[in-house]
Structure 1
Amino acid sequence: MAASVIETCHVACSANRAPNVVSWGRGGLIAFGSCNSVCLYDPQEGRVVGLLNGHTGRVNAVRWVHRTENAPECHLVSGGSDSRLILWEAQHGKFIQSVECKGHTAAVCAVDAVYTEDSKVLVASSASDSTVRLWLCSDDKDAECLHIVSFAGFMMDVSLALLPGSKVPVLACGGDDCKVHLYAQANGQLQKVMMLQGHEDWVRGVEWTSAGAELLLASCSQDSLIRVWRLCAKSGTDTRAEDDHTIIKMKEDVFEVKDRGITSEFAASLETVLAGHENWVYGVHWHPPVYKGGELQQPLCLLSASMDKTMIIWAPEEASGVWVEQVRVGEVGGNTLGFYGCQMSPDGAMIVAHAFQGALHLWCKDHHNEGEWRPGVVVSGHFDVVQDLSWDPEGEFILTVGSDQTTRLFTPWKKQNNKEITWHEISRPQIHGYDMQCLAMVGRFQFVSGADEKVLRVFQAPRNFVENFATISGASKEKLLTTSDAASLPEGASTPALGLSNKAVFQGGLVPKNNKEEEQFNSISDQYQESYFHPLILTGTVKLRHHLFPKKLFNL
């Protein structure tokens, strides 16, 4: 008898609470750290397609190693709280651990990498030991630490690129001294060539991009501002132009780089300052290069994410060249914190942010309405330890509880005109104030949960949830309502204004009572009606995950 084949149907996970933990590759895969693993998520398929296990501590930084021809990446770099860096390499459709870099004495918080001219991988890393290290990884599974730069404080982010018109690597480091430090590797030495000043608080993110014969560096800070710097090679004509005082231009800082007996001059200047966020800006990301007319071109488009719970797409106007805000998306209201970082899809049609609580937020460009973006469905999961789980007696969904104080329900989503079935989180029946510890199903749509305060609570699904569950899972609504004792099911659940628990709402409580006695108010509070439950019926496909996830669909 042949052995049964076991395959992974669904991985429920969230991103770690770190700014540099998400990276979107040119091949379409989103790599992000979740606990001690690196997850490879395919937004087109809507599921996690791979897990890379190698770290023994939390993964804090993940970066794809982009190729110059904009092809799908073959290498991925990750750094963790175990003080290690791991270079992953694609072989036969899977990523395996290729090289391990050891040397840091504290948690790695930022990584970046580029290819050298001899196809080796040059990796830069920053750690909590106040050092930035430069590594050279070769094909023989060997990693050499080339340089160690020590700082008095911490470098929050690093970014690598090649200087214009040369193969000389340039490293940008942004740290808690409010400055951006530039280093160039020439003749086997890592030299500090410049220090960019202007930010008034910690620099949280830096990223290079190539724009023709120039480099653009974006830096973001806790001062809520984004600065874009321009780095270009100087020529003899540029030197003569400096003597012409009739030309109005930004002040340039010039530095020299000597490599292989050739001295080259480069100039750095401030391109623009972008003000639009109202809180710390944690991440900036350039639009990936795209092919137009058979040539690889770099769109001048910048994405930023902030703790004000918004992402902004910036671009210069065609007429004036002034950088302005093009698109703003994000969360409104609630008691959650903002975004830790952002990434953009290879074609720029989708953007993703990861939040403080680990949730991924995806927006897709609406091709029918120009300038509009729509929220998309993305993978989700607990952002702390999963303590218990329980299957539905019929095996159609699964309930989980975790130390993140939530109870979550996962079920397959059967889309119309699509044979492929994917699992998704469709409800959070319980959002608690204590860490959840245990769970047990006592019926088809009933469960008991316990938390740290040692109180057991019994929850029952209302009719509105059962109807929506049937729409999503493709199950028979009539069969579910019959087996669920439909006569005793409440219509829904609502939370009183000064209450903490969901209360059942039955058929008679769907609409407010209207009689003459209620028109005679006894107090000021009587003038304002209690909020009533309004059924949410899903038709066809799930509209937005934001409409469904926050709803407390179970009653106590």
Structure 2
Amino acid sequence: MGSKSDGMQQVKVERVFIGAGCNRIVNNVSWGACDLVAFGSQNAVAILCPKIAQILTTLPGHKASVNCTYWLPNAKFAYKAVEMERHYLLSGDADGVIILWEYTILDKKWRHVLQVPQPHIKGVTCISGIMMSQKDAVFASTSSDGTVNVWELVFPCTSEGDCKLSCVETLSIGSKSMVALSLAELPGNSGHLALAMGGLDNKIHLYCGQRTGKFVPACQLKGHTDWIRSLDFSLPILGIGETFILLVTSSQDKGIRIWKIAFRDSLDTKKEEISLASYIKGPMFVAGSSSYQVSMESLLIGHDDWVYSVEWQPPSIINGNECYQPQSLLSASMDKTMMIWKPEKTTGIWINVVTVGELSHCALGFYGGHWSPKADSILAHGYGGSFHLWKDVGVASDDWKPQKVPSGHFAAVSDIAWARQGEYILSGSHDQTSRIYAPWPKKSCLENEDNWHEIARPQVHGHDINCVTIIQGKGNHRFVSGAEEKVARVFEAPLSFLRTLSHATSGDSSLLDDLQAEVQILGANMSALGLSQKPIYSQVSPETTNRSNTDGLDTLETVPEAVPVEFTEPPIEEQLAWNTLWPESHKLYGHGNELYSLCCDHSGKLVASSCKAQSASVAEVWLCQVGSWKSVGRLHSHSLTVTQMEFSHDDKYLLVVSRDRHFSVFSIKDAGADEINHELMVRQEAHKRIIWACSWNPFGHEFATGSRDKTVKIWAVENASTIKQLMTLPSFKSSVTALSWVGLGRQSNHGFLAVGMESGLIELWSLSCERSDNGNLMVPNATCVVQFDPFLCHASPVSRLTWRPSEKIPDSKVIQLASCGADHCVRVFNIDFL
């Protein structure tokens, strides 16, 4: 939350919504004892709360993509965290940097504690730790630079204290780096730690050492025939006459192995007879005065693809303070399933007791699976940057049901647009999808406000999407998207979406009711080989569509039929990816290169489009008429890519800014008979570097331009023919990449300009000015009223800012601002003018 007073004006900024996908990499997700999940989203660390299915915040600080996160304590050590007031989070990135964060349970505040010294030379691939007590922990990190570092971390006793961090060991592994780690205390109260690591040489390496370091190789465990992907130690288990820990390992050989490490009082030097038992028994090793026997406990075969993660069920507390480690483990695989394994009570043979996810034909495999601290939920993250959560809702027996989780893009978000009435946000991304987010009405009195969710994924494309715009004016919901192809595509809302939207808007559906009587298309199908999404008509029965698909020769076109669904609650990932497509109604041709920017006028009659360009002939702006979709104009002015366009709010002018450092203003007039008169009014060099952004004053003919030269300039159209520069805002600390101007009240002499920067930060400027007697604007007064808290902002360049349209703005003190950025995030803020 950020706020600042400016004379009479005071502004408070609050997070409303964050939509973000998970980086597609193993070890990226960690479920903490505080019941929050941490994951990397590009170079930000995102924190989600599974209970409310919302991302709470993102932590800025990494300059490279976040590879792995690890909670101290995580779900495994939740039993040690009962009285901990502060929890800690480690995050490692592709540059080798590891950052430690502190989370205070009571006030829910985050703090950047420190950056771990001696960073890895290459990207961090895994972080794993062990809670020694509530006051200290030991953690290890590994990297593709071939080293494993072991650290001791002592937590502060008071809230003002500092964490004490010391490196106790650096192990050089060699050319075949390790990608998985796990730490455990060896049984028998020896005070020794075991460090298991696995990676590219197909072996599990066991090291023994103390908290002060001195880790030495103990033994190697062989058996897997491909890369080791995951390792996890159990807590000590009391067997009949022995104490032991179990190590579970998974590999790209599709197998899971369980190894038993049993404590022996003294080294048994007797020669054993050559028998089956002696083959099953593995090596022995000594740690201090104790010896340990390693044996192969079980081999679990069940997955059909690489097993990316295995994890023991978190221990539970019984009889007040006694800790019990259940013999139950969770595995996640690229075969799109997660499995829970347990030993049979009679035979002791490990069997698969629960399988989830096998029906999600869209999941494209899982990179990892995690238990909740209470072991009543399991979470997977998938190839599509998505989360998949199942909860055990059974009373007497297991009954795992899918749950709603946050979702979002897994690549840079290039553009966003509000619906005409502000009912939802549409976003387009380089992950080749467009998505729709909307506030969903609260269900219970426990929820203070509506929670935002992704309610549709209208376009799943074969190209990175660069720009989107929603068609304004009356009629059905439509949008145009432009991607890394030379064609713009028009999409129209199907009946299933309109019905879902009526549930999301709490019955405020008078307009929707009128539309639903006219719309005959229920949903859309994606063809297997094409990029077009084909309509599914509401009057066609399923029998006829299925029969027509199977008539004649078998072709690659016989993909599973999408089933459009009306949702009465927010859809989950499997439903979004398959049941919420919009049909494509038209293609707009003309450009010579891939599309770069789009905009629609406010009356919903014209769409302007531009493409990437290195010459004047390609850099032209095309005007297309909504409805007939005919080209009605080609505007020539620039010599390089047009980066953004915007119509003035009375649609008289089109403002165009370009990489060639110039802006242009075109006058646009409707000549009737499907003709548009357009004329270049002015072309002017405005900045010293690329102009990235522009925005009109909502109630006047003033506009702002923002550039890589770190400046924002305010201009005015005078006498309908000339452009006058009114002022230049004080220089910003970073390149300006996004602008959006909103007016308060019905007066054009007061408004707010939102400025987004390459650093990810956002500022809000108050622009107030007086008009002279002839109506011309005098030099405005500009004041920065608020700099958004970095914990609210993006961690990478801001791509677009846009204010929520609302008829209530003249009376309302709270308006909403949406933003998107290269950190894969879509964000919505409440701006409260106190």
Does the TM-score normalized on the shorter chain lie above 0.5? yes
Higher alpha-carbon Rg: 2
Distance 1:544 1:438, change over 3 A: closer
Letter paired with 2:440: W
Residues 241-260 of structure 1 aligned to structure 2 (within 5 Å): 250-258=280-288
Secondary structure at the aligned position of 2:218 is classed as: strand
Could you tell me which amino acid in structure 2 is paired with residue 467 of structure 1?
A: R
Letter of the 1:78 counterpart: S
Kept in 2, the 8 Å contact 1:37–1:51? The answer is yes
**Structure 1 equivalent of residue 103 of structure 2:** 90
**Change beyond 3 A, Cα 1:23–1:505:** closer
Q: Which amino acid aligns with 2:190?
A: S
Q: 1:477 is matched with which residue?
A: 509
Please say if 1:224 is aligned against 2:254: yes
Q: Distance in 1 between the 2:253 and 2:553 partners?
A: 44
Secondary structure of the corresponding residue to residue 96 of structure 1 = strand
- CA–CA distance in 1 between the matches of 2:551 and 2:164? 80
Aligned counterpart, 2:36: 29
Residue aligning to 2:776: none
1:272 aligns with 2:272: no
Match of 1:350 among 361, 366, 377: 377
- Counterpart check, 1:451 vs 2:486: no
CA root-mean-square deviation: 3.2
C-alpha change, 1:154 and 1:41, in structure 2 (3 Å) is same
Per-residue CA shift, 1:380-416, capped at 9, x if unaligned? 1001010000011211210000001111001112243
1:163 to 186, 197, 213: 186
Counterpart residue number, 2:265:
235
Whether 1:133 aligns to 2:149 is yes
Higher relative contact order (CA 8 A, sep 6+): 2
2:461 equivalent to 1:432: yes
SS state at 1:3 partner: strand
In the alignment, the residues of structure 2 paired with residue 525 and residue 21 of structure 1 have an alpha-carbon distance, to the nearest angstrom, of: 41
Deviation at 1:458, TM superposition (A): 1.4
* Other-structure match for 2:177: 154
**Does the 8 Å CA contact 1:463/1:486 hold for their aligned counterparts?**
no
Match 1:195 to one of 220, 232, 255: 220
Is structure 2 residue 403 aligned with structure 1 residue 380? no
**Residues 24-67 of structure 1: CA distance to partner in whole angstroms, max 9, x if unpaired?**
11221111111111111111011112222221111111111224
Are the counterparts in 1 of residues 522 and 535 from structure 2 also a CA contact under 8 Å? yes
Count of residues paired in the alignment: 544
Cα separation, 1, equivalents of 2:326 and 2:511: 54
Trace 1:9-88 onto structure 2 (pairs within 5 A). Answer: 9-66=16-73, 67=77, 69-71=80-82, 74-88=87-101
Deviations 1:284-320 (A, max 9, x none): 0110111223222111110001111111100111112
C-alpha displacement at 1:499, in angstroms? Answer: 5.5
- C-alpha separation in 2, matches of 1:453 and 1:37: 30
* Alignment equivalent of 1:103, drawn from 119, 122, 128: 119
Mean Cα deviation higher: 89-98 or 296-305? 89-98
| Deviation digits for residues 172-228 of structure 1 (CA, Å, limit 9, x no counterpart) | 110111111111124641111111111111111111111334221111011111111
Larger mean CA deviation between 20-29 and 288-297 belongs to 288-297
Q: Note the C-alpha offset of 1:153.
A: 0.6
- 1:177 maps to 201
Gaps (5+ residues) in structure 1? Answer: none
Does the CA-based 8 Å contact 2:198-2:231 persist in structure 1?
yes
- In structure 2, the CA distance between the partners of 1:100 and 1:7, relative to structure 1 (3 Å rule), is same
Given residue 278 of structure 1, which amino acid in structure 2 is its aligned partner?
A: D
Mark the runs of 5 or more structure 2 residues left unpaired by the alignment: 1-7, 157-161, 238-242, 585-834
Decide whether aligned partners of structure 1 residues 293 and 242 sit closer, same or farther in structure 2, where only a CA change above 3 A counts. farther
Contact residue 500 and residue 566 of structure 2 kept, 8 A: yes
SS in 2 for 1:467: helix
Mapped partners of 1:555, 1:128: distance in 2? 45
Q: Tell me if the contact between 2:498 and 2:516 (Cα under 8 Å) persists in the aligned partners.
A: no
Deviation (angstroms), 1:529: 11
Amino acid at match of 1:170: A
The match for 2:128 is 112
Determine helix, strand or coil for the equivalent of 2:281: coil
Paired with 1:529 and 1:280, the residues of 2 have a C-alpha distance of 28
Contact 1:158–1:171 (CA<8 Å) still a contact in 2?
A: yes
Q: Secondary structure, in 3 states, of the residue corresponding to 1:434?
A: coil
Q: Please tell me whether the aligned partners of residues 287 and 303 of structure 1 are also in contact (alpha carbons under 8 angstroms).
A: yes
Give the counterpart letter for 1:27 in structure 2.
Answer: C
Shift of 1:123: 2.0
Q: Which moved more, 1:6-15 or 1:240-249?
A: 240-249
Measured after TM superposition, the shift of residue 6 of structure 1 is: 1.7
**Percent of aligned positions with the same letter in both sequences?**
35
1:555 aligns with 2:580: no
CA shift for structure 1 position 78? 1.2
Q: Give the whole-Å Cα distance in 1 for the aligned partners of 2:311 and 2:52.
A: 24
Match of 1:390 among 417, 422, 442: 417
Shift of 1:333: 6.5
TM-score with structure 2 length normalisation?
Answer: 0.61
Most deviating of 70-79 and 435-444? 70-79
Secondary structure at the residue paired with 1:357?
coil
> Would the aligned equivalents of 1:340 and 1:354 in 2 still touch at CA under 8 Å?
yes
Q: CA deviation at 1:369?
A: 7.3
Q: What SS does structure 2 have at the residue aligned with 1:210? A: coil
Which range is displaced more, 485-494 or 188-197?
485-494
Q: Within 1, Cα distance between the matches of 2:411 and 2:560?
A: 32
Deviates further, 140-149 or 351-360: 140-149
State which of 7, 10, 13 in structure 1 corresponds to 2:14. Answer: 7
Residues 468 and 482 in structure 2, CA contact (< 8 A), matched pair in contact too: yes
Q: 1:524 to 1:78 in 2, by over 3 A?
A: closer
- CA contact 1:415–1:541 (8 Å) conserved in 2: no
TM-score, structure 1 as length reference: 0.89
Of 220, 229, 233 in structure 2, the residue corresponding to residue 204 of structure 1 is 229
Partner residue in 2 for 1:502: 533
CA distance in 1, matches of 2:415, 2:9: 33
Q: 1:320 — aligned with what?
A: 347
Secondary structure of the corresponding residue to residue 10 of structure 2: coil
* Aligned match for 1:290, one of 294, 298, 316: 316
Contact 2:34–2:87 (Cα < 8 Å) also in 1: no
Take 2:393 and 2:516, find their aligned partners in 1: how far apart are those partners?
A: 42
The 1-side partners of 2:420 and 2:552 are apart by 49
Q: Which residue number in structure 1 is paired with residue 803 of structure 2?
A: none
For residues 255 and 540 of structure 2, the distance between their equivalents in structure 1, rounded to whole angstroms, comes to 50
SS at match of 1:8: strand
Partner amino acid, structure 1, of 2:191? K
Deviates more, 1:308-317 or 1:211-220: 211-220
Rounded Cα–Cα distance in structure 2 between residues aligned with 1:35 and 1:155: 23
Task: Judge conservation of contact 1:223–1:280 (CA < 8 Å) in 2.
Answer: yes
- Structure 1 counterpart of 2:443: 416
Aligned pairs (5 A) from 1:398-413: 398-413=425-440
